[in-house]
Structure 1
Amino acid sequence: MASYSIETRTLTNGDLRFKTTIIVKKDSKIVHRESKTFKKKALAKTFGIKRVNELEEGGLIKNKSVPLGELIDMFMNDNDLWRNTGRTKRYVIQMLRDCDLAKVDSNKLKSSDLIQHCKNRKAAGAKPVTIYHDVAYLRSVMKLAKPVFDITANYPVFEEAVPILIDMKLVGKSQKRTRRPTTNELERLREELETRQSYRPNGQIRIPYIDILDFSILTCMRIGEVCKITWDDLNKKHKTILVRDRKDPRKKEGNHMIVPLLGESYDIAIRQPKQSDRIFPYNPKSVTAGFQRVRNKLGIEDLRYHDLRREGASQLFEKGYSIEEVAQVTGHRNLNILWQVYTQLFPHRLHDKKLSVL
């Protein structure tokens, strides 16, 4: 319920001022307070009546705070927000909608609520890195509550909760992967992929798995990038390719980068049939699925398609390319990430250095 009161004050010169204070209560507690001062009492009264009506007819009282489930619904129903939300984040947000946490009022979320949610997720078998996504994505939704939906949400609670969740080992970040396919594994993969790409039941499109596999390693591209590059992006004179909107955690779009096509990667691209505006006009999910089926059939464990990107960077280092040169191929803005790959590859080579005791 909203109400207003007018306080009269006398200035030192004898003039009067009229201060209108608006108060909104919910469950007998003040949830909002605002005030404004006027030179005339009539203006103060008019303001008070108008503001109370605005708040009661669908403003602050209606939208001050809502259950988190409703806030999540608002986020999902906003086309501008949902359209620009990644697949993993969408999945997590939809999952949160059905958790007990969704019943908590957006402005009353406590650290204990987050801790209990994380405990429940752990008991259900979720790993700390997975649970971390729950917390991070819920925070991002709540941070938009006020500016986008005029909903008050206690998102600052995460500043208190996250360090505690880390100390309790309920959340954590993923471990850096170091998996590389062995020479034998790559040979077996190519042999089996050749069989798979020659088999086309019911007239299915032939996917050149081996060319895509080798191109992915040589260019260090993600499979989504490989299947998106076009003939117009190819510079035959300089043997380079323009990779558009390359993944960058700090920038979603516009990360275009010219990448050199080293080794046989240029020849692989050139020999593809021009049946589309794209060089590799295939669904990246289909390519990945075919790779996974072959990998599983061969019994190769813990190898992901994305590991081929690391394999490509590793091969470049082994051929003597500098970190800066490798970054031109991989697209890494942060050289520290490449440095980690480099140091994982070559610590044994320190034995080749000659040391002497003075």
Structure 2
Amino acid sequence: MAFYVIDPRTRADGTIRYKCSVRVKKKGKIVYSDHRTFTKQAQAEAWGKKETFNLESNGIPDPLKSVLLHELIGKYIEDPNVHIGRTKLYVLNMLADSDIGKMNAFDIKSHHIVEHCKNRINSGTGPSTVSHDVSYLKWCLKMAKASYGYALSELPIIEAYDLLHSQNLIGKSARRSRRPTENEIDKLKVGLQERSNQRMAHIPYVDLLDFSILSCMRIGEVCRITWDDVDEQQKAVTVRNRKDPRKKAGNHMLVPLLGGAWEILQKQTRNDARVFPFNERSVTAGFQRVRNELGIEDLRYHDLRREGASRLFEKGYTIDEVAQVTGHRNINTLWQVYTELYPKRLHDKDV
């Protein structure tokens, strides 16, 4: 027997939401359950009546033909064989908590994608950030059949792309060219050293800052290096699972440590399996706090990676040599850094 119940809930801001739960009971046991939350009781009742009618008419849906998007996302997050980075995890959790996350993944159409993106834009989110939503949602739908047997498709995303682009609901992020000045670096080192001295859990912020610049590594990569990854003969380290849009895991690279990075690594204490045994978020948070206290504007920790690449170019390294350090598979990004450093190089050759 199919039935529904409505449970009014008062949120922290005082507004009321109506949770409608639809269930099927057989021999005293719940054999099927689904729920949605609405802003109006009439909407909740309408949905409850429609769903109970469908269940009475068509029976309980095939479990492989019905899965809420947030449930599908939960499977990915909990799957030990699925590698999910910090950004993707954040986006997936956000999608799971959104309105589209409450939908049956089989019911998601292109107009639902567009509606989700419009809601995100109206909330103040930028097109480049919304692009992450669409990209990871496409990944969820595309991989569902091979991963868990759900015959889903990324077609709704593909059908929505033209409209999303034409209405500027999604777009590429603006390419950054921010480099810290020598004065900013000096101020940061003073502030970071003071922070290191004040904290009980000592984090060598200055060493991490210098190492991040000289090695051109992401802070997550820096904090994952183990002493077993260190190659003493070649003065290099193996960077594991390096970010690559074409390969999510197992992308290991042997990276030479140049310009003093090797010396910084060697002076670290060896009381842990990792060279820099610190939480990357703590390192980034400390950097941001000092930066803000100093009034340094529009500088991100990731900009240190670009600073490192720029310094290598300034020392005369070629693009392919810099790519060996930075790990860029697509050298177009490095080419842009190089051309911004030397915009007049062709004119100089023409003299």
State the TM-score, normalizing by the size of structure 2: 0.77
Greater Cα radius of gyration, structure 1 or 2: 1
Q: How does 1:317-336 map to 2 (within 5 A)?
A: 317-336=313-332
2:339 to 340, 343, 358: 343
When residues 230 and 148 of structure 1 are mapped into structure 2, their CA distance, relative to the original with a 3 A threshold, is closer
2:344 partner SS = helix
1:62 alignment partner in structure 2:
62
2:216 to 195, 213, 220: 220
CA contact (8 A) 1:227 1:279 kept: yes
2:299 to 303, 310, 319: 303
CA contact (8 A) 1:71 1:145 kept: no
Structure 1, residues 179-207: CA drift from partner, whole Å, max 9, x if none?
1101111111112112222223xxx2221
2:72 alignment partner in structure 1:
74
CA contact (8 A) 2:69 2:100 kept: no
2-structure distance, mates of 1:334, 1:341: 13
When residues 329 and 64 of structure 1 are mapped into structure 2, their CA distance, relative to the original with a 3 A threshold, is closer
1:130 partner SS = helix
Structure 1, residues 84-125: CA drift from partner, whole Å, max 9, x if none?
333322332332233333454433433222222211111111
Query: How much identity, in percent, do the aligned residues show?
Result: 53
1-structure distance, mates of 2:280, 2:96: 29
When residues 254 and 263 of structure 1 are mapped into structure 2, their CA distance, relative to the original with a 3 A threshold, is same
CA contact (8 A) 2:70 2:97 kept: no
When residues 117 and 351 of structure 1 are mapped into structure 2, their CA distance, relative to the original with a 3 A threshold, is same
2:349 to 331, 338, 353: 353
When residues 263 and 87 of structure 1 are mapped into structure 2, their CA distance, relative to the original with a 3 A threshold, is closer
**2:278 paired with 1:282:** yes
1:194 alignment partner in structure 2:
193
Gaps of 5+ in 2: 1-57
Structure 1, residues 245-278: CA drift from partner, whole Å, max 9, x if none?
2221211222222211212111111122222222
When residues 232 and 103 of structure 1 are mapped into structure 2, their CA distance, relative to the original with a 3 A threshold, is closer
Q: How does 1:88-237 map to 2 (within 5 A)?
A: 88-200=87-199, 204-237=200-233
1-structure distance, mates of 2:275, 2:219: 13
AA of the residue aligned to 1:259: V
When residues 276 and 153 of structure 1 are mapped into structure 2, their CA distance, relative to the original with a 3 A threshold, is closer
Would you say how many aligned residue pairs link Structure 1 and Structure 2? 293
State the TM-score, normalizing by the size of structure 1: 0.75
2-structure distance, mates of 1:143, 1:285: 31
1:49 alignment partner in structure 2:
none
2-structure distance, mates of 1:233, 1:153: 40
AA of the residue aligned to 1:229: I
2-structure distance, mates of 1:109, 1:102: 10
When residues 96 and 319 of structure 1 are mapped into structure 2, their CA distance, relative to the original with a 3 A threshold, is same
CA contact (8 A) 1:106 1:152 kept: no
2-structure distance, mates of 1:187, 1:124: 38
CA contact (8 A) 1:227 1:282 kept: yes
1:279 partner SS = coil
Q: CA deviation at 1:156?
A: 1.0
Gaps of 5+ in 1: 1-55
CA contact (8 A) 1:228 1:278 kept: yes
1-structure distance, mates of 2:321, 2:148: 46
AA of the residue aligned to 1:245: N
When residues 98 and 354 of structure 1 are mapped into structure 2, their CA distance, relative to the original with a 3 A threshold, is closer
1:31 alignment partner in structure 2:
none
Q: CA deviation at 1:316?
A: 0.3
